[in-house]
Amino acid sequence: MEFRYLGNSGLKISEITYGNWLTHGSQVENDIAAKCVRAALDEGISTFDTADVYANTAAEQVLGDALRGERRESLEIFTKVYHPTGPKGHNDTGLSRKHIMESINGSLTRLGTDYVDLYQAHRYDFETPLEETMQAFADIVRQGKALYIGVSEWTAEQIRAGHSLATELGFLLISNQPQYSMLWRVIEPEVIPTSEELGLSQIVWSPVAQGVLTGKYKPGAEPPAGSRATDEKGGANMISRFMNDEVLSGVQKLQPIAAEVGLSMAQLAVAWVLQNKNVASALIGASRPEQVSENVQAAGVKLDDAILTKIDDALGGL
Ligand code: NDP
């Protein structure tokens, strides 16, 4: 495994992060979830990402249970706050001081740890003053409940405003967590240049586009049994944005390119996001341990410019 610094901080994280959205506490039984975490650890992954909202808090609990007994200093544990996690009361959402302070305590209990390495604002809150949010994060860092602060899916402008307040308040805002893959390149024009300027990294989610870039979904064919596209607990809905013949046909053109460089399509997709130096880690999900073992082989892979051009040409305007 290779490690990269997260933003302008001294924190090193594994190039591949293991995440448990839609899987732990939902699509995947707890014993398989534990095996996926074991596979991640055995492959050298040290960084784990979850959120209080995943499976209405169950995902944090399952991850905490699976990591129990591991040496805490060898792990980086990340979680997030914003979304409501149960019955939606009037203060159970967003980035108010009240919701942040209550949420971190619940997350720490479920994860079985005294602190998270990175606490992330899952979305931007347009209704709470940013000053209030950042002061709450500053206090959480001072209390030792989180070591660093990150955001997720913030625009370049929001990142700039948040970074400026964090600097004033004396804590490190070091990362953004956006969707990024060969099929979703929204962050390239603005978020990445702004992050580079300010010293934030990206931790990118869905690098294999939830399974689509593995090539297992064929145009005009039924999705494989047990795959996310058949998961009625939420996965099928989430992946539906990619499940059309135009995208699935385009993706099949990546097969010979992957073969040329001796990678599986999943490995090519994960390696692709890691070519960008502003990406500190590719945040992968898995429904079985073999997927972790396969995808992790993308760490440290270098793709040359000719291959990157072939990928762009194959996907055209998708
Ligand atoms: P991926 O793009 O890695 O998709 C993972 C899924 O793809 C697996 O569960 C599996 O689904 C399928 N898959 C992966 N590898 C293979 C393989 N080698 N062969 C066949 N199928 C494969 O990422 P996710 O969409 O799961 O997201 C990863 C993490 O990102 C989340 O756990 C979460 O931590 C984070 N995230 C953050 C968000 C945010 O707003 N900040 C939003 C969403 C995710 P199956 O077998 O069921 O088909």
Catalytic annotation present for 54? yes
Q: Given this model, what pLDDT does residue 109 score?
A: 98
Please report the ipTM that was assigned to this predicted complex: 0.99
pLDDT in tens, 119-131: 999 999 999 999 9
Mutate to test the pocket of ligand 1, among 206, 231, 238, 295 (most ligand atoms within 8 A of CB): 206
299-to-53, 91, 204, 268, 290 alpha-carbon distances in Å: 29, 41, 14, 10, 16
What domains are there in the chain, each with its CATH number? 3-210+276-288 (3.20.20.100)
- Is ligand 1 within 6 A of the CB of residue 202? no
- Is ligand 1 within 6 A of the CB of residue 107? no
Residues 6+ apart with CB under 8 A from 46: 1, 3, 13, 14, 74, 75, 76
Q: Give the span between the Cα atoms of 38 and 289, in whole angstroms.
A: 8
Residue 199 burial (10 A CB sphere; 0-12, 13-18, 19+)? middle
Looking at 18, 54, 119, 217, which residue is catalytic?
Answer: 54
Q: CB count, 10 Å around CB of 244?
A: 10
Mean pLDDT of 57-83: 98
Q: What is the largest CA-CA distance in the chain?
A: 55
Structure-token pair, residue 108: 């720490």
Confidence of residue 87 (pLDDT cuts 50, 70, 90): confident
Report CA(139)–ligand 1 centroid distance (Å): 32
Q: Give the ligand 1 atom nearest the CA of 284.
A: 3
Q: What's the one-letter identity of residue 189?
A: P
